[in-house]
Amino acid sequence: MSWAIWRARNKMAIEKSFPKTPLDVIWSGISFVQKWRLLLNEAEQTEIDGLGMKMKTWLDNFLPSEAPVSDIVEL
């Protein structure tokens, strides 16, 4: 996941290319883990599979907040 966040940050800083939603970064991280999974031993692959299923379930049930987002606060 850290790699996906790093890549998204670099794209924003260097290419001025912003993800459509924050979930795009998470899906990118899941994709990256799935590709590298093949290099792990069998026990680690099983562990990664379980974590991946938990993340996918969370993402499928995720409901974005309807609250307006702002960095302006009242003092």
For residue 62, the model assigns a pLDDT of 82
- Name the token pair of 17: 């290319």
The reported pTM is: 0.63
Can you give the residue ranges of every domain in the chain? Answer: 2-58
pLDDT means over runs of 10, the chain (75 residues):
88 89 86 89 93 87 73 66
Q: What is the model's pLDDT at position 42?
A: 94
Tokens for 38? 């093949």
Burial of 52 (C-beta count, 10 Å sphere; 0-12/13-18/19+): middle
Q: How far apart are CA 9 and CA 19, in angstroms?
A: 10
Q: What's the pLDDT score for residue 73?
A: 65
What pLDDT does residue 70 have? Answer: 66
Tell me how many degrees the CA angle 35-41-44 measures, rounded to the nearest 5: 75
Q: What ranges make up the beta strands (E) of the chain?
A: none
pLDDT on residue 47? 94
Predicted confidence at residue 40, as pLDDT, reads 92
